Amino acid sequence: MSPPAAQPPSTIAVIGLGSIGGIAAGCLLTAGRHELLACVRRPLQSLTLDRPGSSATLPLRALTSPDAAQPVDWILVCTKTHETEAVGPWLRRLCGPSTRVAVLQNGLGHAERVAPFIGGAAVVPAIVYYNGERLAPDHVRLTPVGERDVAVSDDAAGREFAALFDGTPLRVATSADFTTLLWRKLLINAAANPMTALTHQRQAVLRRPDIHALCLTVLGEAVAVGRAEGAALADDEAERIMAALLTYAPGLGTSMYFDTLAGRPLEADAILGAIVAAGERHGIPTPCNQTLLTLLRAISDAAKTGG
């Protein structure tokens, strides 16, 4: 039986060249199979990608205004969730009749967030597992975590997205139970992001017994909500999530940790807010998640106002 034919080259626009988008763009550039465009605020001529065992500086085509953009085959939305509306002009210009939009963001409701801007284009929600760190506007570092780097639903669009990354350093997996994977990733974020942000410490802080216990309480609430939402979560899911987190290098930071140190708004509503809102829909109390959400909202609001 002949091997499947390689996917033909695609035009791909990456919106948001931070720790997630920079990694995705850099990995696609290393393979050199597709025509890639970075949608950025400031001009860039190259992108340096560091990953275990190698570093490469790659030429980059970048646009700084959506007015110069044309429709592409694929859009990768890699901004923070609260920045989605701000990139609406990019989405409107880049979307054509056959464009597919992959949303590499935290939280739930990927399709709903971009729907107002894409004119009915197909949406591919994606779960990101890799740890990315933005060292400079044109320099990112990839640290793989776990057995996969990205996961998508096992359907035609998901498989086409996965094929984009054939021959790149990113391991993209497909899943027939995407809802459960989505909630498991949300659980990881619900434990790691708030604790690192509020303590201003990297993931080593999760090894403290008191923080570990607090995480288990947060996760216990979230697991109950996830089950009500249709996720197939185990009885000991909270303990499994914490065990997985403790396999991560203690020196790794989370996105919320880096955003807190930089004085940027936080994705608290996309992570804890999603859990609290789903809990309210199902009548499931989430007091610990609500407390952390309130604290993180206060930090985020201060960042928005410069307070």
Contact present, 77 and 105 (Cβ < 8 Å)? yes
Backbone angles phi and psi of 59, in degrees to 5: -65, 145
DSSP the chain: -PPPPPPPP-EEEEE--STTHHHHHHHHHHHT-SEEEEE-SS--SEEEEEETTEEEEEE--EES-GGG----SEEEE-S-GGGTGGGHHHHHHH--TT-EEEEE-SSS-HHHHHGGGSTT-EEEEEEE-SEEEEEETTEEEEE--SS-SEEEESSHHHHHHHHHTTTSS--EEEES-HHHHHHHHHHHHHHHHHHHHHHT--GGGGGSHHHHHHHHHHHHHHHHHHHHTT----TTHHHHHHHHHTTS-TT---HHHHHHHHT----HIIIIIHHHHHHHHHT---HHHHHHHHHHHHHHHHHHHT-
CA distance 25 to 30: 9
185 is catalytic: yes
CA distance 263 to 89: 25
Residue 260 token pair: 């807190």
Catalytic residue among 100, 141, 185, 202: 185
Active site residues: 185
